[in-house]
Amino acid sequence: TSAPPLVELKSLPGTRKTFCEMATAPLNSSFEVYVAKEDFKFHAAHFVAFEGYRERLHGHNYKAGVRVYGSRKISSDGYVIDFGNIKKVTRKVCKELNEHFLCPVLSDVIDIDVSDEAQTVSLKCQDGSSFVFPKSDCALLPIVHATTEELAIYLWSRILQGLHAEWLLERGVHTLEVVVAEAIGQEATFRLEI
């Protein structure tokens, strides 16, 4: 028996190329994959502080999305990247942040003391406010401000670490983008070449 005929792409104007022929697309095209699942979320407390200002302690129901940009050619398995790889890594990162206080350990206006003996994290703010949290309730993040923008950078780095940059580059992925939303209509996007 012979193989079934290839389906022709009729939606692209001026082309009669088959799906297989389009696995390497025209020069002005590229592939991208976007994944944003209902469980790409974390509920966390935070406050933003900078010179002369501190927000009140409050929380958000954060959501995340991940986009990878690939080259003009998809891999021999038919994928830019399997959705499952993105889902596994992103869910893990979100779970690590869920139900924690987001503590910006690189803050230039908050004195932070992490006591391994007492298992506490103490914060002394520029405005005189102080907080003490159980260490297990804190996500100690290498950021300066607990803003959505800096969280997007943090998630980008953790997701890239989990997906392995070398493997992504081998697959033709050249850019990773992470979107973090703290509320409907309030989101930050961080995109950077790998």
- For residue 3, what pLDDT is reported? 37
Burial class (CB in 10 A: 0-12, 13-18, 19+), 185: exposed
Is the model's pLDDT at 21 over the cut of 60? no
Is the model's pLDDT at 29 over the cut of 90? no
- For the stretch 91-137, pLDDT in tens is 999 999 999 999 999 999 999 999 999 999 999 999 999 999 999 99
Between β-strands 100-104 and 41-46, what pairing exists: parallel, antiparallel or unpaired?
parallel
Structure tokens at 74: 């998809």
pLDDT-derived band at 71, boundaries 50, 70, 90? confident
Mean of pLDDT over the chain: 90
Dihedrals phi, psi of 23, to nearest 5 degrees: -60, -25
Contact at 8 Å (CB) between 81 and 168?
yes
Q: Could you give the CA distance from residue 126 to residue 137 in angstroms, rounded to a whole number?
A: 22
- For the stretch 3-17, pLDDT in tens is 333 333 445 555 555
DSSP track, 40-75: -EEEEEE--EETTEEPPPEEEEEEEEEEEEE-SB--
